[in-house]
Structure 1
Amino acid sequence: MDKRQSAVESAVQASDQLFPERRMRQLWDPVAQLCYRASAAYLAVTEQAQTPTPTRRPPGELDLTIRQLADAAHAVDQFYDAHRPQLDNASSTLAAVPAVVAQAHTAADTVMARLAGEASAYLEYPSVQSKRSALVDAVVALETAGSANAKREAAARVRSAVTALDDAISAAPTRAQDAKKALSSVQTRMAAARTRAEGLAPAYSALLREFNAASSSDVSGNEAASRREIAAAEAKLEQATTALTSGNPDLALELTASVRAHLSSAEQHVDAVTDRLVLLREVRDNPKAKENEVRFRLRDAQMLAVSRGLTSEWGSVLDAQLDRIDRIAGGLNGRHPDYWAYVTGLDAVKTFISGVVQRMKKQTGSQ
């Protein structure tokens, strides 16, 4: 019984250290108490029997003690059989922790040696530096880990950091070529952005001449904003070119990404004006097209409400949108109607109708 109890006790301790969520100790304690009581009874009987003048013991005490030992041993066997996979897994995992830690250290030493030798030319690359720092931190955490579980988790982080650094070293030789391609790409995009920006001023001027002043008030600063973004992109591009020629392709790629961001912003400023002009001219030429589109959406929504029996809840809400459309359409008057207010107003109604449709479909469990 003692041997069986000790073996299971060790496995339970391993489970507590590695997998406390299994609550193995709580399950084991009642069985352990049976063992302790059986052992105490056995010791009491044997110690009394070994005294020079043993006292007379109650009849059947020895048989009772033997049964206690047998029952306790059987309970240990039952517990082990019931939890064998978890206990064996915990024991083997705990036994493997020293080897896991040693393997993590070996892997870290190997990749660090690679960085100090064949890959030393890439040591200053930010992508390599960051991964190296992460590995150093992971190794320090492993060396200071206390419990077996903490050591396993820290070793896993070391292995992950080793893989990341190894990948960064392997990718380093192609970073320069990647940076050259990226620079060539953004230079082409820069030229295109400048060409597009040249059309902003004429488009804005046309907006002012052809449409109500309110139609362009929100884009009045777009020309200056696009110029600022293109200038910022040019500055970053120059820095990226310098970084590449200085042997720092990582920084060149990072700066190239910044160039793209500035160019995207510049393009958005330009498109906001040129697209506005195209849209307003289309609406001016055929204002009813926009209105009819929204009225069609409204009729569809009303038919949906009827078909799904939701008119009591949504009918008046949708009917109110018809009044909104009429008011917006009635605003197109005068010498210079506010077509932009007309467009944004109808778009707001369309968005509202779409929201009502989605809610009706959700209510009836259909998309």
Structure 2
Amino acid sequence: MRDALALLGLPLVAVLALPAAFAGGGTRRWFGGRAESRRAAAQAAKDAAAAAFYELDTAQRDLRISIETIGAVDDSPAARRAVADFEALGGRIDEASRAYIDAVDAHDLDRDDLEAAAAARARDRLTAATDGLVRVKRDLDRFAEGLGPLLGKAETQLARLAPAVERARQSLLAASEALDAVRGSGLRADDLAARLAALAPELTKLNQGAGQHGVPRTLERADRVAREAQAVRAEAERLPERAAEIDRRLVSLRTRVEALTTRTGQVEPVLSELRRRFALACWQDLQHVPEQAAETVRQAELKLREARTARDEQRWPDATALLSTVRALLDATDEAVSAAGDRLRRLNAVQKDPRQEIDRTRFTIRDAQRLAMAGRTTPDPRHARPLDDAVARLDRAVTTLEDRHPDYWHFLAETEAVRQAVARVVARIREERGAGR
């Protein structure tokens, strides 16, 4: 037997080991039970750590999208604080991830000669790494829950972004088409064209997108462009009607100028009659009306010619402003010219029958006195005194009519002043009674 083994060329020690080797044992056969159990526990800890790492990584990537959305849309202190807090959480996530990777790299659980003690150390380290990953994931989840309001606001703005930009583009297109239609009718609309051209750089920025200019500024720009373009479109669509209205006003004001020129020429005869029949005080304030009216009419004619020129040159704002000036001039002149005729009419009436003016004023006073006494046995001095003063003032005015050359205009002014004073007393009585005093 020994000789046969010697023929195989094998040492004796090796030969002694052959039965065990052929039986599939070796070192792991003798010590494998304990080591394999700990290897399995370590592998389970590794799998758990891998799952925790994957969940944390997925949650972080998902939340990063939300944070980037908030950061792009919202520049409020709360949003900036959320971004900073997320960055701080990112540092903790990096630390937990590094601890997990180091634990995995430190132990090769597939080694055939892995000792039980090494497997136990691997399990403990991987379990600690898992705990760290889970803690950070829990904090990340709580942080994500608190982002709800900020994220909702940001998503709302993002949802507005595309429609707002499209609305601005469509508004610009509609304004351009309206302007082309106006020009096709022979109206230049240069001011509207300039306003529309000024929006071209804004459209360029809108086309560059929110990524370059930010969501809030892009939304604000889109709304402003749409609003200004819609205003240009509306004015362009109204321009033919505006031109027609200016033409009508030119004709109407020209007619008024001609009529007022004729009426101005009639003021001097009225003044002559006033001078001849009434005292100086009755007409002195009117003696410059003819000259002033003629000058005002001359200014109105000049402004009217300027308005015609502005309309022919299609300077619509200038034409409108000039026509308003013409109207104001004519209104003032018409009032002054009418004052002379009205003065003569009123003076004729009071000269012929002053009793009508006197009776009218006395009736006003008596009506107020009845109101002051309503529900009372004696009048309130606060009301009686001014009413007595009104009676005395009227009597004094009536006395002036006995002069050789009565100042009828002063008489009319006094009776009017008396009626106004009485009206104030009546208003005070009604106010006090309405308040329960």
- Which residue is 2:357 aligned to? 290
CA distance in 2, matches of 1:141, 1:355: 60
* Cα shift at 1:255: 6.5
Task: Tell me the SS of whatever aligns to 2:102.
Answer: coil
Amino acid corresponding to residue 337 of structure 1 in structure 2: P
Q: Does structure 1 conserve the Cα–Cα contact (< 8 Å) formed by 2:304 and 2:326?
A: yes
Amino acid corresponding to residue 396 of structure 2 in structure 1: R
1:135 aligns with 2:135: no
Q: Does structure 2 conserve the Cα–Cα contact (< 8 Å) formed by 1:39 and 1:69?
A: no
User: What pairs up with 1:100-179 in 2 under 5 angstroms?
Assistant: 100-111=167-178, 113-114=180-181, 118-119=184-185, 121-123=186-188, 128-139=189-200, 147-171=217-241, 175=244, 179=247
Question: Mean Cα displacement is larger for which, 141-150 or 68-77?
Answer: 141-150
Question: Mean Cα displacement is larger for which, 282-291 or 259-268?
Answer: 259-268
- Which residue is 2:144 aligned to? 73
Q: Does structure 2 conserve the Cα–Cα contact (< 8 Å) formed by 1:108 and 1:158?
A: no
1:231-281 per-residue CA deviation (whole Å, 9 max, x = no partner) reads 44555666777888x787968887766655544444322211111011112
Q: Does structure 2 conserve the Cα–Cα contact (< 8 Å) formed by 1:14 and 1:94?
A: no
Task: Tell me the SS of whatever aligns to 1:122.
Answer: coil
Amino acid corresponding to residue 338 of structure 1 in structure 2: D
CA distance in 2, matches of 1:137, 1:74: 45
1:340 aligns with 2:409: yes
1:119-154 per-residue CA deviation (whole Å, 9 max, x = no partner) reads 4x322xxxx333334434455676689732541343
May I ask how many residue pairs the two structures share in their alignment? 344
Task: Tell me the SS of whatever aligns to 2:158.
Answer: helix
Pick the aligned partner of 1:311 from 348, 373, 380: 380
CA distance in 2, matches of 1:59, 1:161: 63
Amino acid corresponding to residue 339 of structure 1 in structure 2: Y
- Which residue is 1:327 aligned to? 396
* Cα shift at 1:350: 2.7
1:7 aligns with 2:7: no
CA RMSD, Structure 1 to Structure 2 (Å): 4.5
* Cα shift at 1:32: 6.4
> Residue 315 and residue 108 in structure 1: after superposition, are their counterparts in 2 closer, same or farther (change >3 A)?
same
- Which residue is 2:100 aligned to? 49
CA distance in 2, matches of 1:30, 1:248: 56
> Residue 198 and residue 152 in structure 1: after superposition, are their counterparts in 2 closer, same or farther (change >3 A)?
same
Amino acid corresponding to residue 96 of structure 2 in structure 1: V
1:318-351 per-residue CA deviation (whole Å, 9 max, x = no partner) reads 4433333333333333111111112122223333
Give the fraction of aligned pairs with identical amino acids, expressed as a percent.
23
Q: Does structure 2 conserve the Cα–Cα contact (< 8 Å) formed by 1:308 and 1:364?
A: no
1:187-245 per-residue CA deviation (whole Å, 9 max, x = no partner) reads 5445543443343222212211222110101101112223333444555666777888x
Q: Does structure 2 conserve the Cα–Cα contact (< 8 Å) formed by 1:135 and 1:161?
A: no
- Which residue is 2:276 aligned to? 209
Name structure 2 gaps, 5 residues minimum: 1-58, 107-124, 207-212
Give the greater-gyration-radius structure (CA). 2
- Which residue is 1:21 aligned to? none
Q: Does structure 2 conserve the Cα–Cα contact (< 8 Å) formed by 1:5 and 1:32?
A: no
Amino acid corresponding to residue 91 of structure 1 in structure 2: L
Q: Does structure 2 conserve the Cα–Cα contact (< 8 Å) formed by 1:243 and 1:249?
A: yes
1:277 aligns with 2:348: no
Amino acid corresponding to residue 228 of structure 1 in structure 2: E
